[in-house]
Structure 1
Amino acid sequence: MNILTEKFNTPYHTAPFNEIKNEDYLPAFKELIQHSEEEIDALVSSSEEPTFANVIEALAYSGEQLDVVSNIFFNLNSAETSDELQQLAQEVSPILTEYSSKISQNEALFNKIKKVYDEKEKYDLNEEQEMLLEETYKGFVRNGALLNEEDKEKLQKISMDLSLKSLQFGQNVLASTNAYYKHITQKEELAGIPEAIIGQYAEEAKERNLEGWVVTLQYPSYIPLMTYAENRNLRKELALANGKKSFDGGEFDNQHMIKEILELKQQKAELLGYATYADFVLEERMAKSPGKVLDFLNEMLTKAKPYADKEIEELKALAKADGIEDMQSYDHSFYAEKLRKEKYDLNDEELKPYFPLDQVQDAVFGLAGQLFGLSFKERSDIQKYHEDVKVYEVQENGEYKSLLYVDYFPRKGKRAGAWMTSYKNQYIKNGENSRPHISIVCNFSKPTKDTPSLLTFQEVTTLFHEFGHALHGMLANTQYPTLSGTSVKWDFVELPSQFLENFCYEPEFLKTFAKHYTTGEVLPDDKIQKIEQSKNFMEGYQTMRQLGFGILDMNYHTKVAELEHETIKEFEDKYTKATQLYPSNPETAMSPSFSHIFQGGYSAGYYSYKWAEVLDADAFQYFKENGIFNPEIAAKYKILLSSGGTKDPMELYKSFRGSEPKVESLLKRAFG
């Protein structure tokens, strides 16, 4: 018996991580795919008249166990991978792509869907059912249901190639990140870096059986060095290594991979009748068209550029005082930190003792209680995939609402960054509300034998950000799994995460949890004031950076033909030139490690971070005007979160706010 093919005999049918063996995956995928195909065959061969219930609903609920196993497998491939799991991913991905292509190109199935769609007036559908029908029909059309047989085969091959190349892209970035480390034997080279960080570098060296200190390209190692190291040559060396990730012509180089991925996406778009891949993607976004996105990004660029230029001039003046006439990008974090300390007398190391991870987690849990009536209780009887992971049962009014897995510390088998994901979606079937299993994955500094994990303020906001996504998943309350939780338009998905970050800057809330881990002293008022004042520190620079990514992404997915006679580096420099605040280094490029668009789901969608900032600034402004813990507004916001993708996001937003979001809310917050 394969444990993955049965309903899990665990609390709340949670993933039985301790009992899963790597050799279970491939046979389980094959068996579950076969079972799902049999479900579809039964649906297709039924002689009953096609109806909303026996076609659209039946399809929405099909393949449940396959979804669960896919979630387990791919989540582990991101958070706790191994060579064996990566090899398996190369085998599993094409099988799953072929399976989904077979369904989306099943002509008999589509004919039944089309019949229900064409006759929808005769069904008394509610709003959510109408959305499911619309999304199901459109999903099939966008997957080639209206194509002829030859073109369907072409599309299927493109989809399989894309899934493999995207997977390989991510594996190359991870391998390239892990391949580099800097071994330091003279402590004076680490001048300026706080002792706690130097202690981490010593631990890393010990793990590698080396004397001295080791710095890696993992963010908790890399970022503090770039921020505090007085040794400019060391900063330059690390920045070059980071900028060369998958761009050094070596085994893990991604330059050809980018061109191949973009070419395949363009072929897919043209096959489906779209001018570019961006047109194809944006049809399903709030923004609707590449032109509208670029107008939005360029409007923001025009407004932000003067602020960014002014910020960089301030930094250059500081660098000049140190004898640096040619300030470079690798000097930015160092001098930004100096200026921040000078302006606000704040540095991360000073604040970290006030933000032990457990306290910050308690605060975000408490906020969820205050706004939405949730409580969190750790469970020791639920299986985990790594000893660092903790599992919480989430309750609402004493009743089970969700499970939350938290995984906070870096490991070799975990990719960099922070993300929220789910192991099981929420849905209602046969009157039973099946609740979700949600996970947050981060890369915070590990506790040492002397100190708990202490977060930088940026890491505090990161935890709130990911928890905002988690709330979207945990509060989900929809009929169908495909419309549940974060299954919303991509440029709407960042609203809940970015919205929650705002609370980190509110003095009345900060005082409830920013307490020194040894003395219990509350973070002093002057420091809280400085955090508030520093909220928009380097906002111009950060805005330009995000706009640069968004503009580059949009051009990659609208102007792929230009890459026939341009290198990745030339293309990147050309389209980020307007947003660049430092000279471009010929040895580095960010595109070959731009996982968001070449591995993740942000292709032709990176602009959505800024788009969602408009939404979150406008939404939080509403709270600010009426009290940040206002129960009536929190109740309206909870409806927005729990509705998932059941309504058009702009309609959902207007129901909550009473009007469309205003760009002015973001500009006011960012630049006063």
Structure 2
Amino acid sequence: MATGTLRKPPQAPPLFTTEPLCILDDAKRLLDQSRKIQTSVIESVDPSTATFANTLLLLAHDENIRQKEAHVLEFYQHVSPDEELRAASRQVEGLVKDFSIETAMREDIFKLVEAVSAKNEDLDPQSRHILEKEKSSYVRNGLGLPAEKKERFKEIKKRLGQITIEFRKNLTDEKGGIWFSQEQLEGVPKDDILGFELGEDENSGQLRVTFKFPDVTTVLRHAANGDTRRQILIANANKVKQNVPLLKEALVLRDEAARLLGYSNHAAFRLEEKMIKSPETVNTFLSDLRSKLRAKGLQEVEKLKELKKIEMESRGESFDGHYYMWDDKFYQRLMLLKEFSLDAQEISEYFPLNVTIQLMLEMFEKLFGMEFVKIEGKARDELAGTGNGNDIVWHPDVQVFSAWNAGSNDEFLGFLYLDLHPRQGKFGHAANFNLRPGFVDADGQRSYPATALVCNFSKPTATKPSLLKHDEVVVLFHELGHGIHDLVGKTKYARYHGTMCVQDFCEAPSQLLENWCWSPGPLKLLSQHYSTLSPEYFQVWKDGQGEKNSRTSKLPQQITDDMIQNLIRTKNVNSAIFCLTTLHVAIFDMTVHQPDSFEAAADLNPSKIWNTLRSDIMPTEGPDSQGDGDEWGHHEVTFGQLVGDYDAGIYGYLCSQVYSLDIFDTFFKSNPMDATEGRRYRHMVLENGGSRDEMKMLEDYLGRKPNSGAFYRELGCSETPS
């Protein structure tokens, strides 16, 4: 269980006690060591004597050690409360990126890799995989270019690395917000209001809504004042304008680099190594999905318009016939409440954060044959080795678990960290970060992974624990899915550990687990009403009964079957609008990465393209329909993925959904808690990470080629192209 038997892991967790100057020194030491090993290989081996063992294996072992340390050093920028440490961590990322570019363009190493490949040694599958990928990566990094073009390619790669770091820094360090009066925030729940900063002096009596995800979302969902919702949406879309020129520069440089290598555009370059190999296939998939969903989305909006008209007239306001993007979360919530008796706030009372995590981990223990043990108190002090348990976390709020194989063998799997609440300087959305990859070291011993869930759920108040909306439960499942993928990985090489697989598959394991949040049995198992946690919480709940006439003095400890059924009935309500939102980002991503020429790339106006596509794809109206023009906002530069590893890859969220729904529909739909199937899936898919061809791995697991039937059925569409 998640409170299982405490035992000492065979490997200590990382310590988070460093200083800004120290992590720079550590990074330089790591990279100098790697350069020495590269030099040693070059001096001791030539193409005639090069083998996998004396060349690639030595370099791979060095990469394993480097990633084991560097991942932690680069992680500080996303979570550290210390601004100097975050800045130093970004410098480390820059050093590591520059080193990677330097290594990827070493002609002397490339010649050895080519020689090893030509010898066609009898290698184990993972070693064969790394050899093939390594040879390909050198070619894709400009080794076949003439000297002048090669130098330009190197300059481009370095500048792109700098852009990525600066772009993400702007997002992480963003401190904006808007002051609203109590009246402007009418409808926002009291618990959320308590979390807003109360103004002083010129802002006396006002409340500050930040651009952090929980704040923006709660205002868009609950504020009855349409102008309030409009203000927060537009301001949030303009919160990091300094990223606008950075994205434009990145798009131009990517296009230039792709053309230097002989590709028609950046998308063609990026997709060559994905599961879907060509932009044409992706474009067809996205276009077909768009044609299926557009009409359905318009129908969904017509129903929401009817609700908006009724709601506005009930408040004595006239309805002008428009349905704006800032209306959507508000009226979708009202629809669920009025048509399905689904109150998101009431549902959240059954999902107190810490209890939900405990029950979620227990669920994964049963499904995947794992055991989680929370490390706290004296056990944390002892594990730290310093006597201070806070040394193994980067912030006091962070929880730590050790993960083990279930059974009597006491096989250690790794460490799981949970950093769940927002704070200044912290990564602003939800993500999983690998802190240490798993691998087999030069002595044949296993080095175990450490993985962190970084989320931004509301903090507990003085009277209530942190309560998760159902969609936040889904987010938690999704990110923990990445964490499980990380923990159970059993690859030889760090670069293929866990989630380090191709982008158009790596989301599938996490999206698969989202389905458990829509299944009656798991939902029941996950729930416990917060009022049952303590007499104090019960009194708070009881005192609040007057807010809802339907409440009684007694309630079940777990969520009721009626509430579960109502919740499940809403799963695909307005699903076209939801899917079109992702589709919009994916089509934008493919559009800006497929210009007809380099000149066309230089002429791109990403914000205009983003807003124009939004108007064409989404059934909701935007500020442009009110005469604000097609550059009213720059929401595209709030997506870190577009400059990170998801360039020309956002479509992967949709493709992964195809794979995940196919798996769930085939193996888990009838019994989500089938432990036999859970273990088979763990061993055949999750443990492999990126060490196998992902499509072949998926076909072996399914026993056939994947198909999109379940995906289109979920959306209420026919599978055949329109």
Q: Please, what TM-score do these two structures have when normalized by structure 2?
A: 0.86
Q: Any residues of structure 2 matched to 1:144-163 within 5 Å, and which?
A: 144-163=142-161
Secondary structure of the 1:511 match is helix
Asked if the contact 2:497–2:690 (Cα under 8 Å) also holds between the matched residues in 1, the reply is: yes
Structure 1 residues 289-322: Cα deviation after superposition (integer angstroms, max 9, x where no partner): 1111111111111222222111111111122231
Asked if the contact 2:94–2:165 (Cα under 8 Å) also holds between the matched residues in 1, the reply is: no
Asked if the contact 1:246–1:592 (Cα under 8 Å) also holds between the matched residues in 2, the reply is: yes
When structure 1 is superposed on structure 2, of 383-392 and 306-315 the one drifting more is 306-315
Structure 1 residues 221-263: Cα deviation after superposition (integer angstroms, max 9, x where no partner): 111111011112211111111121223xxxxx22221211111
Which residue pairs with 1:73 in the alignment?
Answer: 73
When structure 1 is superposed on structure 2, of 439-448 and 377-386 the one drifting more is 377-386
Asked if the contact 1:354–1:514 (Cα under 8 Å) also holds between the matched residues in 2, the reply is: yes
1:653 aligns with 2:698: yes
When structure 1 is superposed on structure 2, of 640-649 and 301-310 the one drifting more is 301-310
Secondary structure of the 2:505 match is coil
1:235 aligns with 2:224: no
Alignment equivalent of 2:189, drawn from 185, 189, 194? 194
Which residue pairs with 1:134 in the alignment?
Answer: 132
Asked if the contact 1:98–1:156 (Cα under 8 Å) also holds between the matched residues in 2, the reply is: no
Distance 1:102 1:570 in 2: 36
**Paired residue total:** 650
Secondary structure of the 1:311 match is helix
1:340 aligns with 2:336: yes
Which residue pairs with 2:547 in the alignment?
Answer: none
Secondary structure of the 1:395 match is strand
Distance 1:113 1:235 in 2: 57
Secondary structure of the 1:385 match is coil
Asked if the contact 1:563–1:571 (Cα under 8 Å) also holds between the matched residues in 2, the reply is: no
Secondary structure of the 1:62 match is helix
1:327 aligns with 2:323: yes
Which residue pairs with 1:301 in the alignment?
Answer: 290
Q: Using the TM superposition, give the Cα deviation of residue 94 of structure 1 relative to its aligned residue in structure 2, in angstroms.
A: 3.9
Provide closer, same or farther for how the CA distance between residues 221 and 64 of structure 1 changes in structure 2, counting only shifts above 3 A. Answer: same
Q: Any residues of structure 2 matched to 1:520-535 within 5 Å, and which?
A: 521-535=557-571
1:491 aligns with 2:508: no
User: Amino acid of the residue matched to residue 635 of structure 1?
Assistant: R
Q: Any residues of structure 2 matched to 1:604-615 within 5 Å, and which?
A: 604-615=648-659
Distance 1:526 1:367 in 2: 22
Which residue pairs with 1:286 in the alignment?
Answer: 275
Alignment equivalent of 2:642, drawn from 597, 604, 621? 597
Asked if the contact 2:374–2:401 (Cα under 8 Å) also holds between the matched residues in 1, the reply is: yes
Distance 1:93 1:128 in 2: 27
User: Amino acid of the residue matched to residue 53 of structure 1?
Assistant: A
Q: Using the TM superposition, give the Cα deviation of residue 347 of structure 1 relative to its aligned residue in structure 2, in angstroms.
A: 2.4
Structure 1 residues 510-568: Cα deviation after superposition (integer angstroms, max 9, x where no partner): 11121211136211111100111111122100111111100000011111743544533
User: Amino acid of the residue matched to residue 143 of structure 2?
Assistant: A
1:570 aligns with 2:608: yes
Alignment equivalent of 1:513, drawn from 526, 530, 547? 526
Q: Using the TM superposition, give the Cα deviation of residue 483 of structure 1 relative to its aligned residue in structure 2, in angstroms.
A: 1.7
Which residue pairs with 2:388 in the alignment?
Answer: none
Asked if the contact 2:45–2:55 (Cα under 8 Å) also holds between the matched residues in 1, the reply is: no
Distance 1:125 1:580 in 2: 51
When structure 1 is superposed on structure 2, of 524-533 and 151-160 the one drifting more is 151-160
Which residue pairs with 1:350 in the alignment?
Answer: 346
Which residue pairs with 2:13 in the alignment?
Answer: 14
Distance 1:47 1:263 in 2: 40
User: Amino acid of the residue matched to residue 465 of structure 2?
Assistant: P
Q: Please, what TM-score do these two structures have when normalized by structure 1?
A: 0.93
RMSD over aligned Cα, in angstroms? 2.1
Distance 2:25 2:185 in 1: 51
Which residue pairs with 2:686 in the alignment?
Answer: 641
Q: Using the TM superposition, give the Cα deviation of residue 65 of structure 1 relative to its aligned residue in structure 2, in angstroms.
A: 4.2
User: Amino acid of the residue matched to residue 430 of structure 2?
Assistant: A
Which residue pairs with 1:445 in the alignment?
Answer: 458
Which residue pairs with 2:426 in the alignment?
Answer: 414
Distance 2:50 2:163 in 1: 38
Provide closer, same or farther for how the CA distance between residues 74 and 324 of structure 1 changes in structure 2, counting only shifts above 3 A. Answer: farther
Secondary structure of the 1:492 match is helix
User: Amino acid of the residue matched to residue 567 of structure 1?
Assistant: N
Provide closer, same or farther for how the CA distance between residues 66 and 646 of structure 1 changes in structure 2, counting only shifts above 3 A. Answer: closer
Task: Specify every segment of 5 or more residues in structure 2 that has no aligned partner in the other structure, as ranges.
Answer: 1-8, 313-317, 385-391, 533-555, 624-628, 718-722
Distance 1:138 1:396 in 2: 36
Stretches of 4+ moved more than 4 A in 1? 208-212
Q: Using the TM superposition, give the Cα deviation of residue 11 of structure 1 relative to its aligned residue in structure 2, in angstroms.
A: 7.4
Task: Specify every segment of 5 or more residues in structure 1 that has no aligned partner in the other structure, as ranges.
Answer: 1-9, 248-252
Which residue pairs with 1:364 in the alignment?
Answer: 360
Distance 2:339 2:563 in 1: 12
Asked if the contact 1:407–1:441 (Cα under 8 Å) also holds between the matched residues in 2, the reply is: yes
When structure 1 is superposed on structure 2, of 434-443 and 396-405 the one drifting more is 396-405
Which residue pairs with 1:388 in the alignment?
Answer: 397
1:579 aligns with 2:617: yes
Secondary structure of the 2:452 match is strand
Q: Using the TM superposition, give the Cα deviation of residue 626 of structure 1 relative to its aligned residue in structure 2, in angstroms.
A: 5.0
Asked if the contact 1:551–1:576 (Cα under 8 Å) also holds between the matched residues in 2, the reply is: no
Q: Using the TM superposition, give the Cα deviation of residue 86 of structure 1 relative to its aligned residue in structure 2, in angstroms.
A: 4.6
Asked if the contact 2:240–2:637 (Cα under 8 Å) also holds between the matched residues in 1, the reply is: yes
Alignment equivalent of 1:469, drawn from 482, 503, 511? 482
Secondary structure of the 2:347 match is helix
Q: Any residues of structure 2 matched to 1:109-124 within 5 Å, and which?
A: 109-120=109-120, 123-124=121-122
Asked if the contact 2:418–2:452 (Cα under 8 Å) also holds between the matched residues in 1, the reply is: yes
Distance 2:199 2:344 in 1: 24
User: Amino acid of the residue matched to residue 470 of structure 1?
Assistant: G
Asked if the contact 1:245–1:592 (Cα under 8 Å) also holds between the matched residues in 2, the reply is: no
Secondary structure of the 1:454 match is coil
Provide closer, same or farther for how the CA distance between residues 281 and 454 of structure 1 changes in structure 2, counting only shifts above 3 A. Answer: same
Distance 1:427 1:197 in 2: 44
Provide closer, same or farther for how the CA distance between residues 216 and 426 of structure 1 changes in structure 2, counting only shifts above 3 A. Answer: same
1:405 aligns with 2:417: yes
Which residue pairs with 2:587 in the alignment?
Answer: 551
Structure 1 residues 374-393: Cα deviation after superposition (integer angstroms, max 9, x where no partner): 11111132410001101100
Q: Any residues of structure 2 matched to 1:252-263 within 5 Å, and which?
A: 253-263=242-252
1:27 aligns with 2:25: yes
User: Amino acid of the residue matched to residue 143 of structure 1?
Assistant: N
User: Amino acid of the residue matched to residue 615 of structure 1?
Assistant: Y
Percentage of identical aligned residues: 28
User: Amino acid of the residue matched to residue 630 of structure 1?
Assistant: D
Distance 1:102 1:512 in 2: 51
Which residue pairs with 1:102 in the alignment?
Answer: 102
When structure 1 is superposed on structure 2, of 54-63 and 110-119 the one drifting more is 54-63
Asked if the contact 1:425–1:435 (Cα under 8 Å) also holds between the matched residues in 2, the reply is: yes
Distance 2:688 2:617 in 1: 37
1:670 aligns with 2:715: yes
